[in-house]
Amino acid sequence: MIRTRFAPSPTGPLHLGHAYSAITAHDFARAHKGQFLLRIEDIDQSRARTTWENQIYDDLAWLGLTWDGQVMRQSQRAAAYSTALNQLWEAGLIYCCTCSRRDIVQASSAPQEGLSAHHTGPDGLVYPGSCRSSIKDRVWINGAALRINISEALKGYNSVTFKNIESDINRPVFYIKDNLQMTDFIGDFVVSRRVNEAAYHLAVVVDDTAQEITHVVRGEDLKSATPIHILLQRLLGHPTPTYMHHPLIRDDAGKRLAKRDDAKAISKFRAEGASPANIRAMIGL
């Protein structure tokens, strides 16, 4: 059975870009007699707000979208994230990193032998590897972040591959990132900001598996993060769904919409008298 999901972060109003993701994932599931699930990605408790969460339920209902089963909330999933982190730790794939952002910038501007060259990836500057040697200490430092040792993680494979829906929704094509691209442009990514504070990449993978998602539908801005998710699924022994990264809805100046772009908020169009059909027409669905 096909299962899709919509996974907004309650850190601002839903705008036309969110409507595009939610409607596409919903309609795809319904067209295949599958299920559409909702997950509130409130893992960053410093930014999540209940008012935005309530507005999400309200906007989705107004758009005519219904979801199946219970809503999953990341703020209640700490135990599942910690099981996954322990699994990676026991496998010797993650290490403690005490670098500040400043340390990373400094180390990147003065590359040393054995450390990665200065590149940027989905999370900004690719980590130069300064703390990587701490992996042998096997000590979990309180307050440290946890990073994947990407070279260890890639052992035994040549590339990271996933099925990606491009032009034909029923015929996904293979998307491939070879190991060199993974080490140079992704590097040792963070899986936990501190002990018991899972990072987005880990949470999204653990939750997509728990919700048994078969098709992840989301914006193109997350396409560069997808190889990270595939690698984590492989390391954790989870299945890999099919992906679909839809084009981003842009503002009139061609810039992609951000949470703060209240001008394109669904609630604003609602207040001005737009109908759900008008919203669909605006985004071409």
CB-based contacts of 19: which residues, under 8 Å, 6+ apart? 59, 63, 266, 279, 283
* Contacts with ligand GLU, 5-34, as mask; x by CB under 6 A: --xxx-------------------------
Min dist. Cβ of residue 41 to ligand GLU (A): 4
- Closer residue to ligand GLU in complex, CB, 7/235: 7
Using rule CB under 6 A, residue 222 touches ligand GLU: yes
Secondary structure of residue 175 in the 3-state scheme: strand
Show the DSSP H helices in 168-216 as ranges.
179-185, 200-210
State both tokens at 151: 């070279």
Secondary structure of residue 163 in the 3-state scheme: strand
- The interface region with ligand GLU, picked from 4-12, 23-31, 46-54, 188-196 by CB under 6 A, is 4-12
Size of the site for ligand GLU (CB under 6 A): 7
Using rule CB under 6 A, residue 41 touches ligand GLU: yes
| Interacting residue with ligand GLU among 154, 198, 204, 249 (CB under 6 A) | 204
Q: How far is CA 222 from CA 111, 217, 227, 251, in A?
A: 28, 10, 10, 18
Alpha-carbon distance 281 to 285, whole Å? 6
Using rule CB under 6 A, residue 72 touches ligand GLU: no
Per CB under 6 A, residues contacting ligand GLU are: 7-9, 41, 204, 218, 222
